[in-house]
Structure 1
């Protein structure tokens, strides 16, 4: 009877272990399938966002996915936990303790006990059942949480890409030019070299299309959603910091500071390398026997490094994201400033300066959404083409209306709502 019960227990725990391995393999397959649709070192043909945006959906996403892969692989090779126990229970106690959670005794999380040789390891010592303990079971969920966090960092990118819908790329591809020849279009080594006349036609088309788009407010939704997605990145980052802190039982927010201060007790409380586990088993006469085991948590050596790095990365990302939002607010309030536009457009179109009259005309005429759309077009075409395009737009604006009227009132059939936001 006892032997039969023992076999059933071993089969049950083995089945649980196999199920864990299956879940780990599942993460690997989902990870491999998802990465087919996400490029890491791919250079964007048309940039529809900025470098801070890309820190969220590229570097952060790939860092979390890499950590998920490493942790899952370590679990798959089954060296995540090793428990010291009697030979009679040693074949099953590792799996049992991993899934039932281990614990440490709070009062032994003190370096004085270790320095006084009163305990063998921090948090591991005599336990009568009355002392306060801390249970550690989060490590079972680390790969799943990391994978979910990675997907959430990629979410705003998918939303923004869907909203843009190739709108910016359509403008950029139409006016982008690599080389110019004086007389006529040529093709050398399968590279088309356009004539000055072709470029002039492109610029003329671009100016008319841009003004038409502005009059019918096509860029309004585009600009709004870009700003919304930038703020979503910031909100998602704050949420991920809160979620990680909740996941680690409130120990994440100051984890990096404690690691930097070499706070031995605090770090080992969050990521204990040695823990305790109590395994219950029926004895020969049916009496429940308690097996007190000491478990080596090798996986926590890796978890500690991951979350310390994640803390520093989240803090750095929070700082640069905050600066990017400040920059976006500055562009909103200063987009009608002549000095601001001369500086910004000079940065994205190196070379001869844009004519002051053209900057003045556009500064007085453009709504923020139109200004932002033009700014991103300028980031994706060469400086000479951008300067020519700005000059053509300014010329068309001056030809279509008196200088005192705003751009969106050029067409009397499309009137601005005075209550509508400038964005």
Structure 2
């Protein structure tokens, strides 16, 4: 298993410098790892066997496997419920007349590609933010984010931060706006992907998690397995060819789809993960908007990162700062040792007071 996921190991590394928040990291870190892992797992023949196996006598099995994998299998929706072994052999598999509706299934062959494409979309806001951020915080906190900060280096780095802040005070609103724009992109992306997966699964994804949860509480005789409806483990396929005399012949065969055992579990997990992530992202955006509109909250958030600095130093400093300046200070507080950051705030406050 470790050999399969060797390519994911790089994504598990945490950045030494924090330039975002926890919800942002859930999008580009946790969700990307989940999607890539699921994509790799869906292609691991070593653990699920062949993705499709046919049961047929008249056509070579390898030809039927290739044909039905390419053109898709189908189930009969009216045969989804019933007692297996008496009414049906498997959910969705049974006899049908000419008027019976059939449902074709081809999306399972695209699952691994779609999951990987979704992972790329989840990483795009992070890519934009890193491009716009230009390692600004990393350069400012250089050598100040370690457990032990050398005294000779500390004073020099403090002066660099204070001088940078004095020269650029009032010019960080664009920096803050770009970060907030990327957070909005995260929200747009997660909503769009919910609609996209519902379209990809023929309208089944929107209620998939609820249906699976409800399925476990119903009586076996009346319940219809939503996982079997979306990802059938056994399906049918019809292969048409010409006989020796040139007449058309149809060969109806059963197919076992081991790949769907993995797919159904993947999408149950993704349904709950995406719903939770959507709720958390919405709450985060509302809180961000509240923080940006309330100076008192910004003061208390910055003060919470300090231990001994008097509140009036923070108030005095923030009185001269714009929202973007506060955002830079807050990011610095996440990356710099608390004692060193307190000294920087005190020196900044004294510098502003002397200038006034």
TM-score by length of 2: 0.90
In the TM superposition, 1:315-354 aligns within 5 A as 315-334=275-294, 336-337=295-296, 340-341=297-298, 343-349=300-306, 351-352=307-308, 354=309
Distance in 2 of aligned mates of 1:377 and 1:50: 13
Distance in 2 of aligned mates of 1:211 and 1:126: 79
Runs of 5+ unmatched residues, structure 1: 1-27, 181-192, 402-423
Residue pair 2:292, 2:298 contacting (<8 A) in 1 also: no
Residue pair 1:176, 1:382 contacting (<8 A) in 2 also: yes
Distance in 2 of aligned mates of 1:137 and 1:76: 22
- Per-residue CA deviations over 1:79-98 (Å, capped at 9, x if unaligned) read 11112111444341121111
Q: Residue 385 of structure 1 aligns with which residue?
A: 340
1:266 corresponds to 2:226: yes
Distance in 1 of aligned mates of 2:160 and 2:186: 35
1:138 corresponds to 2:107: yes
Q: Residue 375 of structure 1 aligns with which residue?
A: 330
Distance in 2 of aligned mates of 1:164 and 1:115: 59
Pick aligned residue for 1:126 from 91, 95, 101: 95
Q: Residue 266 of structure 2 aligns with which residue?
A: 306
Q: Residue 408 of structure 1 aligns with which residue?
A: none
Deviation at 1:78, TM superposition (A): 6.1
Deviation at 1:214, TM superposition (A): 1.1
The structure whose Rg is larger is 1
Distance in 2 of aligned mates of 1:389 and 1:106: 68
Gap change, CA 1:99 and 1:75, over 3 Å in 2: farther
Distance in 1 of aligned mates of 2:112 and 2:46: 10
Deviation at 1:75, TM superposition (A): 9.2
Q: Residue 219 of structure 2 aligns with which residue?
A: none
TM-score by length of 1: 0.76
Distance in 2 of aligned mates of 1:212 and 1:236: 36
Residue pair 1:177, 1:194 contacting (<8 A) in 2 also: no
Residue pair 1:103, 1:133 contacting (<8 A) in 2 also: yes
Distance in 1 of aligned mates of 2:226 and 2:17: 47
Deviation at 1:266, TM superposition (A): 2.8
Q: Residue 230 of structure 1 aligns with which residue?
A: 183
Larger relative contact order, structure 1 or 2 (CA cutoff 8 Å, min sep 6): 2
Paired residues in the alignment total 347
Runs of 5+ unmatched residues, structure 2: 216-222
In the TM superposition, 1:18-417 aligns within 5 A as 35=7, 39-74=10-45, 79-109=50-80, 111=81, 113-114=82-83, 117-173=86-142, 178-179=147-148, 193-195=150-152, 199-215=154-170, 217=171, 219-262=172-215, 264-334=224-294, 336-337=295-296, 340-341=297-298, 343-349=300-306, 351-352=307-308, 354-401=309-356
Gap change, CA 1:100 and 1:210, over 3 Å in 2: same
SS at match of 1:173: coil
Gap change, CA 1:71 and 1:202, over 3 Å in 2: closer
Gap change, CA 1:77 and 1:296, over 3 Å in 2: closer
Deviation at 1:159, TM superposition (A): 0.8
Deviation at 1:302, TM superposition (A): 0.8
Gap change, CA 1:346 and 1:359, over 3 Å in 2: closer
- Per-residue CA deviations over 1:115-159 (Å, capped at 9, x if unaligned) read 692222221112333311111010111111011001111111111
Gap change, CA 1:306 and 1:204, over 3 Å in 2: same
Deviation at 1:58, TM superposition (A): 1.2
Residue pair 1:204, 1:392 contacting (<8 A) in 2 also: no
SS at match of 1:290: strand
Deviation at 1:224, TM superposition (A): 1.1
Q: Residue 184 of structure 1 aligns with which residue?
A: none
Gap change, CA 1:270 and 1:75, over 3 Å in 2: farther
